[in-house]
Amino acid sequence: MSTFGVTEMGVGKGKELGVQWFLLTLVSFLLIVHLSQKKKQKDGGDGMARKRIPGPGQYVLGGYANIFALRNTKTSVNVLQQWGAKYGPIFEVQFGPFPVTFLNSPQHLQKLLGSNDTNYLSKGFAYEPLRPFWQDGLIVSSGEKWRSRRKLLTKHMFKYNSVLSFMKIFNRESDLLLSTLEIFYQDGKVKPLEHKIMTFSLNVITEAAVGLSADEVDRMARKEFQVSLIELVEKAKELMCKRILNPLLLFEPIWRLHPLSKLADVVTSAGRMVLSETFRKVENGKPEEKRGMQHVLHQAGVDFDGIFEEEITMISAGYETTASSIHFLLFFLALHPRHQELCREEIDAVFEDGDFCNAQTHLYYHALGQLKHLEMCVLEALRLFPSAFLLMRKIDAELQLEEDLILPANTNVAIFIPGIHKNPNIYPNPEEFIPERFSLKESKDTHNYAYIPFSAGLRKCIGYKFAMMEIMTATAKIIRHFYISTTSKMEDVILLPHITLTLEKPMQFLLTKRKL
């Protein structure tokens, strides 16, 4: 039985409701105080008139109306997209007591993400619930710590030669996935494959980060805590979501009074203990067995606290986003057999060429560059369903977007990526799966900041090349060995904003073995 049961999650629901209503008056007062400062923000503090920023719920209790509009997680992604379509390149949303300015145009994004000004690198309040579990890892850290860690990890983990070495992991784990899928679908029945893809991706990122397989790490976790690593990560994600979607719980004193904060402490402690044991095992092993991010950080003089926060950040942020991207890609290829077959033709050619594939099983890195149509399909799937769908910064200095539009310091600035990716003025017929959008001919005039599934600029996802290689390798092998079909329909897909875009229910697939 898992350590984290349903009963624990249900504790204190009545208390939570009581706390919310008890504090409603206080938060309303804070909201009124905030709205009374609107003139200052509008004037930019210097008496000069500034362009008014539109947005929903711009009245005294509008912040709570916006919360109600977003509280249904089945529709909140669509609500944000509708707001973007209605209000245009920039709009402001009062989320309870928190004002958030959304940038919704490539030109404005370039001013923020493309700047080298370190005043624009801090993360917004939505990232605070991640800190108890991620501590001060790369995604949420800032300043000199972020800069030095980013430089260290780039040099030792994500430079060209290091990324090449990961092809061994991608190939080995993809082959294990193929064996699993062959057994899973041998009865010819339609089934969800989400869990299989998640397990594959967790195996990949765990070995890259920790230097041990996910099975080895799980054995340690189950022995000590009767819970798996993936359950720890999933429980942490669930707790983070509950805080982010409830603005009252974003106040640390209120959160510490809530029973779920105690459960969050238990999850963090368990994760720390598991990774501490893996660290001990790797560092006490033979020299040739010392591998993974934790060994790199240890050799660079980073203490265990630093190693833990970077490992848990890499694992929890890296496995699900990549797994979801593969899952969505397979879904689109199943819905569009023509594109699936075009991918298969180039994949077969690569697998049957000794210059690109060893014994028709191990793909070389340079083989991925030959899979042009598959790459376009990956990019288009990420356009439609970007796993990391929301970015947020808190700017520490004024940001001038236009001549008469200046965002004041301390503004929380958000980017809803589907709002950019589905702008019909940038991508005609934005809801359609059209991989050719990313051909050299079609994409040459697209703005550099009109496509940001991995963010952009100084804080662009450090592992984006890693993720693309993993997606390409795994998908190429699946298409090589199986015909993919689905009984799920696009109109039935419901996406939930759970840190990453998460399916309400798994898609149903049938994988039919090819005769090679």
Rounded Cα distance between 504 and 439, Å, is 32
Full DSSP string of 362-431: EE-HHHHTT-HHHHHHHHHHHHHS-SS-EEEEE-SS-EEEETTEEEPTT-EEEEEHHHHHT-TTTSSSTT
The identity of residue 257, as a single letter, is L
Rg of the chain taking only CA atoms, in angstroms: 23
Q: Which two tokens stand for residue 389?
A: 């769908």
Cβ pair 297, 310 in contact under 8 A: yes
The pLDDT, as a whole number, for residue 30 is 52
Residue 127: CB atoms within 10 A of its CB come to 18
Per-residue pLDDT reduced to its tens digit, 82-100: 999 999 999 999 988 889 9
Residue 93 covered by a domain? no
Cβ pair 206, 212 in contact under 8 A: yes
**Nearest residue to 302 (alpha-carbon basis) of 509, 151, 477:** 151
| β-strand partners of 406 | 400
Q: Which residue has tokens 């569009």?
A: 336
User: For residue 258, is pLDDT > 60?
Assistant: yes
pTM attached to this predicted model: 0.89
Domain that holds residue 176: 130-392+423-513
Residue 410 covered by a domain? no
Residue 2 covered by a domain? no
Q: Which two tokens stand for residue 319?
A: 């496995």
Q: Which residue has tokens 């990560």?
A: 233
Residue 36 covered by a domain? no
* Residue 47 banded pLDDT, cuts 50, 70, 90: very low
| β-strand partners of 399 | 407
Over residues 185-191, the mean pLDDT reads 96
- For residue 482, give the 3-state DSSP assignment: strand
Per-residue pLDDT reduced to its tens digit, 360-398: 789 999 999 999 999 999 999 999 999 999 999 999 999
Cβ pair 501, 80 in contact under 8 A: no
Over residues 103-120, the mean pLDDT reads 96
Report how many domains make up the chain.
1
Cβ pair 249, 1 in contact under 8 A: no
- For residue 107, give the 3-state DSSP assignment: helix
Residue 59 covered by a domain? no
Contacts of 86 (CB under 8 A, 6+ apart): none
Please give the share of the chain, as a percent, with pLDDT higher than 90. 56
Domain with 267 in it: what CATH number?
1.10.630.10
Rounded Cα distance between 219 and 208, Å, is 18
Over residues 272-299, the mean pLDDT reads 73
Helix-helix angle 194-210:304-335, to 10 degrees:
150
User: For residue 12, is pLDDT > 70?
Assistant: no
Full DSSP string of 243-271: HHT-GGGGSHHHHHHSHHHHHHHHHHHHH
Rounded Cα distance between 349 and 316, Å, is 35
23 versus 503: which is more confidently predicted?
A: 503
Which backbone phi and psi does 74 adopt, to 5 degrees?
-70, -20
* Residue 289 banded pLDDT, cuts 50, 70, 90: low
Residue 7 covered by a domain? no
**Nearest residue to 181 (alpha-carbon basis) of 205, 203, 197:** 197
Rounded Cα distance between 426 and 417, Å, is 13
Per-residue pLDDT reduced to its tens digit, 392-413: 999 999 999 998 899 999 999 9
Over residues 142-170, the mean pLDDT reads 87
Q: Is 377 known to sit in a ligand binding site?
A: no
Cβ pair 421, 391 in contact under 8 A: no
Rounded Cα distance between 428 and 430, Å, is 5
Residue 398 covered by a domain? no
Residue 71 covered by a domain? no
Rounded Cα distance between 85 and 79, Å, is 10
**SS3 labels along 58-92:** CCCCHHHHHHHHHCCCCCHHHHHHHHHHHHCCEEE
The pLDDT, as a whole number, for residue 288 is 56
Over residues 157-178, the mean pLDDT reads 89
Residue 489: CB atoms within 10 A of its CB come to 10
